[in-house]
């Protein structure tokens, strides 16, 4: 992680002029990363939860997601941060809470918590953010997000399933505001794929664990 952050620092300094509308005289803005589908989701709530309790554990994330700065990339494997825009919360902390809300709304488990909450659970879902940035190699670009999820049975300390989810959402403009909006849509798309996967894996694993 230190090597990654160290590699980002000179690129950030070298890219002081932000792209899009982030220019002189523009005030600093703060954007809230959210689940763009949460308010309009029509997925019905499950009649019965699959398990009693599920705990979400955030894993160490890519440096781009472990910062309040919003990242963009003009070239593959080269990143910089928007000067005059930032997240209200680091994505590595915000995303697990957003996923918790989505799983609670769906009724996947009777109780869903994030590591640190006073909740004991037989099932653990680890979440690692592999990348979250605005790819502007071809303007106006697209928001890119990748997340790796692992489901564990804590009673037997075994890995049940592992999968990476990713999304790419076109941005309307090559600026931080459009990037933030598209990233929230990317969050929704990743969750749209993750939730049914988790339900299928939990159903199968819980059935096998039942005496």
CATH number, domain with residue 54: 3.40.50.10610
Residue range 150-166, pLDDT digits in tens:
999 999 999 999 999 99
Mean pLDDT over residues 125-151, rounded? 97
pLDDT value at residue 8: 44
Classify residue 24: in a domain, yes or no. no
pLDDT value at residue 185: 96
**pLDDT of 3 higher than 50:** no
Classify residue 101: in a domain, yes or no. yes
What is the pLDDT of the chain when averaged over all its residues? Answer: 88
Mean pLDDT over residues 96-113, rounded? 96
| Domains: count for the chain | 1
Q: Which domain holds residue 150?
A: 2-16+49-209
Classify residue 41: in a domain, yes or no. no
Classify residue 28: in a domain, yes or no. no
Least confident of 126-130, 196-200, 204-208: 204-208
**pLDDT of 9 higher than 70:** no
**pLDDT of 106 higher than 80:** yes
Classify residue 65: in a domain, yes or no. yes
Q: Which residue, 75, 73, 54, is CA-closest to 64?
A: 73
Q: What is the pTM of this model?
A: 0.86
Classify residue 29: in a domain, yes or no. no
- Beta strand spans in the chain (E): 29-31, 51-58, 69-75, 78-87, 109-114, 123-135, 142-153, 158-170
Q: Which residue, 7, 133, 21, is CA-closest to 67?
A: 133
Classify residue 42: in a domain, yes or no. no
Residue with more model confidence, 37 or 12:
37
Contact between 21 and 177 under an 8 Å Cβ cutoff? The reply is yes
Classify residue 43: in a domain, yes or no. no
Q: What DSSP designation does 25 have? A: T
**pLDDT of 14 higher than 50:** no
Q: Which residues are 72's β-sheet partners? A: 80, 134
Q: Which residue, 21, 10, 3, 6, is CA-closest to 82?
A: 21
Mean pLDDT over residues 55-68, rounded? 93
């Amino acid at each position: 992680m230190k090597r990654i952050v160290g590699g980002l620092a000179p690129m950030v300094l070298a890219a002081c002029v932000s792209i899009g509308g982030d220019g002189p005289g523009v005030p600093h803005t703060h954007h809230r990363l959210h689940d763009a589908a949460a308010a309009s989701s029509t997925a019905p709530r499950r009649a019965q939860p699959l398990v009693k309790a599920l705990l979400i554990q955030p894993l160490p994330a890519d440096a781009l997601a472990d910062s309040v700065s919003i990242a963009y990339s003009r070239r593959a494997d080269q990143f910089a941060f928007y000067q005059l825009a930032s997240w209200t919360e680091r994505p590595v902390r915000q995303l697990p809470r957003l996923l918790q809300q989505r799983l609670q709304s769906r009724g996947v488990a009777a109780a869903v918590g994030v590591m640190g909450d006073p909740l004991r659970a037989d099932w653990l879902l680890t979440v690692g953010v592999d990348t979250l940035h605005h790819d502007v190699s071809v303007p106006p670009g697209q928001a890119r997000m990748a997340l790796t999820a692992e489901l564990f049975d804590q009673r037997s300390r075994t890995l049940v399933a592992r999968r990476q989810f990713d999304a790419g959402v076109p941005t309307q403009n090559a600026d931080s505001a459009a990037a933030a909006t598209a990233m929230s849509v990317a969050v929704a798309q990743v969750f749209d794929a993750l939730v049914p996967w988790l339900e299928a894996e939990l159903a199968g694993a819980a059935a096998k664990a039942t005496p």
